[in-house]
Structure 1
Amino acid sequence: MKFNLKSSVVKTREQRLGTIIGWKTGKASELSRDSAYTCAGCKGNGGKRLCEASGPFTQGSTCSEQMVECQAGNVRDAVLIQHAPIGCGTGQVAYNSIYRNGLAIRKLPIENIQIINTNIKETDMVFGALGKLEQSIRDAWDRHHPKAIFVGTSCASGIIGEDVDSVAVKMQEELKIPVIPMPCEGFMSKHWSTGFDATQHGILRQIVKKNPKKQENLINVINLWGSDVFTPILKELGLEVNYVIDLAKVEDLEKLSEAAATVTFCDTLSSYMAAVLEEQFGVPEVKAPQPYGIAGTDAWIREIAKVTHREEKAEAYIEREHKRIASRLKELRELLKGKKGYAATGSAYSHGLIAVLKELGIQVDGSLVFHHDPVYDSNDPNKDSLKFLVDNYDDVPKFSVSNRQQYQFYGLLKEVNPDFILIRHNGLAPLASRMGIPAAPLGDEHHAVGYQGILNLGETILEILAHKKFHQDLKEHVKLPYTKWWLDQKDPYILEKQNYAVE
């Protein structure tokens, strides 16, 4: 089998998919073309290995451990143990806010996240901290009586080689609930998306039912905290939604293997879990483009209908929705004519947002994605979201890969000079604002999904453009924190090109 659930360690995205975090600005079609290789070193399909831009420093990003925090830490009746120094726990503040907001959006009981940090100190780095870990697991049980306990590692516990697996096995036998080790050291992978896979790997190993009773109307939707847009869509086909991982309960995770199929709003997030569910649990992954724009949503719904044998219902729904949105979509296109947009998000999500922008008639001259997966785990061409974008919505001339580096973002925006940007990671939004460019921070990641999502995004863009004068005034009264030499540079990747790595 392709995936090994016997080990607690998931293969990184670099190993499995050839993920890169830096690529010189070029056409989206060029990146798509140069991605046409297999992870076995270009064998069999005539492709070439991507050249990755490697800079002399990184200004700021996140890590795999934080993605475990925002995934496993958001399972409602479980506890996450961070086997880490207390500094790694600072993310709990932000993720608690996101978790509570997500619960409110879904109309679920509002509560705080349940994450415990083992507080590894200097002496523990010398003498070990497995005793602290064992005590923290017992504390988690005594305080919360969870249905499962996740254990995430850290750079510190990884450096000293803590045997987390042995403690997890011992405590699982004692507590009679899953105690799930998830190796996710920050240095494990150069991109944080491996942390999604680490959480999903642990759930697939120790929570998902191994002998499921299949439910023909149940669809897994792998998502984050967004609003419940999938229930009304899939209800039209007579299907029921099983939302995972964020805001789910352990019983929802258990029945992942019972579903008729697995779908998502973002291939980056779902790649690993969807592929393993298909290979080892017989739950087909819907091999379709992401549900953005008319072309993507049509194809997505039709493929779900094909897998679940509901073709007639799907065609009727598609026809109704096309008619429903037609009038307002025409109005939005007229109102947004001549506007230029820019998407700066995770890779597959950005591909989807650009499709919606182009559906609205907005010019997209550039985009920044934080990493690039040349392939996804299913290795199915229908999941190639970048190629689908280029084939259906034309090219993006200034397409860039950069791992949330603000110093580059300035140059990228200066090259394109958009009227607005779309963003999910708000650290970049203030820089755009200081350049006179308003941003739409998409806190609800489902905002642009499906047919209604096209209208939603159009309305949001009109709202932020109404405030553009504020951002232009701000630009006139602030000073950017860069030297004149850097502000005058024409190439945002000039530092990377000094030691450009070609394999």
Structure 2
Amino acid sequence: MKFDLNTSVVKTREERLGTIIGWKTGKASELSKDSSYTCAGCRGNGGKRLCETIGPFTQGSGCSEQMVECQAGNIRDAVLIQHSPIGCGTGQAAYNSIYRNGLAIRNLPVENIKIINTNIKETDMVFGALGKLEQSIRDAWNRHHPRAIFIATSCATGIIGEDIDSVAGKMQEELKIPVIPMYCEGFRSKHWSTGFDATQHGILRQLVRKNPKKQEDLVNVINLWGSDVFTPILAELGLRVNYIVDLAKVEDLEQLSEAAATVGFCYTLSSYLAAGLEEQFGVPEIKAPQPYGIAGTDAWIRELARVTHREEKAEAYIEREHKKIAPRLAELRKLLKGKRGYVATGSAYSHGLIAVLKELGVEVDGSLVFHHDPIYDSNDPNKDSLKFLVDNYGDVPNFTVSNRQQYQFYILLKNVKPDFILIRHAGLAPLASRMGIPSAPLGDEHHAIGYEGILNLGETILDILAHRKFHKDLKEHIKLPYTKWWLAQKSPYVLKRKKLVKV
């Protein structure tokens, strides 16, 4: 079996999927073909071994522990303990804001996140800090009486080899609730998305019911904090939504094994949990394109309907939605004709957003994805979101993989000269603005989902284009923090070092 639930340590994305965080700028079709060669065992497709391009330094990124913080730390009746120095807890302020906003968007009671930091210091690095961890678990219980407690490791605890499994086992027996260790040291994986997998692995091991009673109308939706767009869509098929992991309760996670199917808004996020539920508990993963654009949403709805035996309802819904969006979609295409867009997000999400832009008639000459997974955990060709994009919407000539590096982003935007950018991780947006390019930071990750999402994104683009003068004025009055030599470069990887991915 691919998923070993006997161990608390999840395999990294590099080990499982061949994830890379750097690839020369080229055509999206080239990356798709080379990915197939590398990871799908298809040597006769004209592709070549996938190469990872590595720069000499990193300006900015995230880490696996942060992703655990934004997953396990957002379960409403659980507590996350960061077994780390206090510096690792600085993200709590930002994640608390995101958590509260997410609750408000979903019309749930607004509250603060429940995350405790063990505050490891220099002496703890010498003598160990398991006593602090045990005390923190008791504090979490006394303060909050949670349904479950998650423990996140850190680079510090990884360096000194803290045995958190032993403490987790002891305290689980004492408190009679799941105490879940998650190994997510920042240096464990070169890409932060492994942190998603660490949380999901812990949920599969210790929370999901082993003897489920099936609920034939329940669908697991793996998501973050976005608005509730899936409930009305699935209701058209007579299905109910089980939103996980963020903003869920422990009970929602326990019933994951009882669902009729599992879907997600982004295969980067949902890959591990969806495939694990199918292998370990027999819950079918919907193996279809992501629900972005007309072609993707059609295919996604039809596959979900096939698995849940609701084909007639699906066809009626698809026909009705096509007619509903057609008038405004035609208007948006006229208004956006000739506009050039650029997408800078995680990989699978970027593929979906590019599809929506092309549905709107926007030209997409370039995209930056922060990492690339040649395959997802199910290894099913129907989930190859990059190939689906290229086959259904055409190529992207300037496609780049780079892990949120601002110095490279400058050259990418300079070469493509887009009218606007779509971005998920807003740290890069100010640079685009200083180059005179307006951006839409997509804080609601569900904004472009489904048929209505096409119109949503079109309206958002019109809104940001209306503010172009502000960004152009800003460009005229600022100086970028780069040397003349770098400003003159055409390749973002002029400082590159090449590394072959092992297969």
Do these two structures clear the TM 0.5 threshold for a shared fold by scoring above it? yes
How far did 1:337 drift?
A: 0.6
Contact 1:203 1:253 in 2 (8 A): yes
- Cα deviation, 1:224-259, whole Å, max 9, x if unaligned, reads 000000000000000000000000000000000000
SS at match of 1:457: helix
How far did 1:2 drift?
A: 1.4
CA–CA separation in structure 2 for the residues paired with 1:241 and 1:49: 41
Contact 2:137 2:171 in 1 (8 A): yes
How far did 1:501 drift?
A: 2.1
Structure 1 residues 324, 42: closer, same or farther in 2, change over 3 A? Answer: closer
CA–CA separation in structure 1 for the residues paired with 2:466 and 2:21: 34
Q: Which amino acid aligns with 1:294?
A: I
Tell me which residue corresponds to 1:84: 84
Q: Is residue 128 of structure 2 the alignment partner of residue 128 of structure 1?
A: yes
Structure 1 residues 331, 82: closer, same or farther in 2, change over 3 A? Answer: same
In the alignment of these two chains, the number of paired residues is 501
Tell me which residue corresponds to 2:499: 501
How far did 1:129 drift?
A: 0.1
Tell me which residue corresponds to 1:444: 444
1:445-484 to 2 correspondences below 5 Å: 445-484=445-484
1:50-199 to 2 correspondences below 5 Å: 50-199=50-199
How far did 1:366 drift?
A: 0.1
TM-score, length-scaled by structure 1: 0.98
Tell me which residue corresponds to 1:287: 287
Contact 2:67 2:196 in 1 (8 A): yes
Contact 1:25 1:398 in 2 (8 A): yes
Q: Which amino acid aligns with 1:430?
A: P
What is the root-mean-square deviation in Å for CA atoms of aligned residues? Answer: 1.2
How far did 1:47 drift?
A: 5.8
How far did 1:37 drift?
A: 3.5
CA–CA separation in structure 2 for the residues paired with 1:154 and 1:43: 39
Tell me which residue corresponds to 1:370: 370
Query: Which structure 1 residue ranges, 5 or more long, are not aligned?
Result: none
CA–CA separation in structure 1 for the residues paired with 2:478 and 2:47: 47
SS at match of 2:378: coil
- Cα deviation, 1:117-169, whole Å, max 9, x if unaligned, reads 00000000000000000000000000000000000000000000000000000
1:268-307 to 2 correspondences below 5 Å: 268-307=268-307
CA–CA separation in structure 2 for the residues paired with 1:484 and 1:236: 57
Contact 1:208 1:257 in 2 (8 A): yes
SS at match of 1:72: helix
- Cα deviation, 1:278-297, whole Å, max 9, x if unaligned, reads 00100000000000000000
Tell me which residue corresponds to 1:401: 401
Contact 1:82 1:152 in 2 (8 A): yes
1:27-38 to 2 correspondences below 5 Å: 27-37=27-37
CA–CA separation in structure 2 for the residues paired with 1:467 and 1:234: 36
Tell me which residue corresponds to 1:418: 418
CA–CA separation in structure 1 for the residues paired with 2:339 and 2:45: 39
Tell me which residue corresponds to 1:229: 229
SS at match of 1:343: strand
How far did 1:41 drift?
A: 7.9
Tell me which residue corresponds to 1:5: 5
Identity of aligned residues (%): 85
SS at match of 2:180: strand
How far did 1:398 drift?
A: 0.2
CA–CA separation in structure 1 for the residues paired with 2:393 and 2:179: 46
CA–CA separation in structure 2 for the residues paired with 1:66 and 1:257: 27
Structure 1 residues 162, 42: closer, same or farther in 2, change over 3 A? Answer: farther
How far did 1:260 drift?
A: 0.2
Tell me which residue corresponds to 1:212: 212
Q: Which amino acid aligns with 2:398?
A: K
Contact 1:42 1:49 in 2 (8 A): no
Tell me which residue corresponds to 2:256: 256
CA–CA separation in structure 1 for the residues paired with 2:450 and 2:46: 35
CA–CA separation in structure 2 for the residues paired with 1:31 and 1:47: 9
SS at match of 2:323: helix
SS at match of 1:35: helix
SS at match of 1:388: helix
Structure 1 residues 329, 24: closer, same or farther in 2, change over 3 A? Answer: same
Tell me which residue corresponds to 2:315: 315
Query: Which structure 2 residue ranges, 5 or more long, are not aligned?
Result: none
SS at match of 1:491: coil
CA–CA separation in structure 1 for the residues paired with 2:277 and 2:296: 23
SS at match of 2:150: strand
Q: Which moved more, 1:32-41 or 1:143-152?
A: 32-41
Contact 1:42 1:48 in 2 (8 A): no
Q: Which moved more, 1:357-366 or 1:41-50?
A: 41-50
Contact 1:32 1:387 in 2 (8 A): yes
Q: Which amino acid aligns with 1:139?
A: D
Tell me which residue corresponds to 2:344: 344
How far did 1:490 drift?
A: 1.1
How far did 1:40 drift?
A: 8.7
CA–CA separation in structure 2 for the residues paired with 1:46 and 1:206: 44
Contact 1:38 1:44 in 2 (8 A): no
SS at match of 2:57: coil
CA–CA separation in structure 2 for the residues paired with 1:138 and 1:287: 42
CA–CA separation in structure 2 for the residues paired with 1:139 and 1:93: 20
Q: Which amino acid aligns with 2:19?
A: T
Q: Which amino acid aligns with 2:381?
A: P
- Cα deviation, 1:324-353, whole Å, max 9, x if unaligned, reads 000000000000011000000000000000
Structure 1 residues 112, 44: closer, same or farther in 2, change over 3 A? Answer: farther
SS at match of 2:400: strand
Tell me which residue corresponds to 2:335: 335
Q: Which amino acid aligns with 1:464?
A: I
Q: Which amino acid aligns with 1:386?
A: L
TM-score, length-scaled by structure 2: 0.98
SS at match of 1:495: coil
How far did 1:48 drift?
A: 3.9
Contact 2:257 2:277 in 1 (8 A): yes
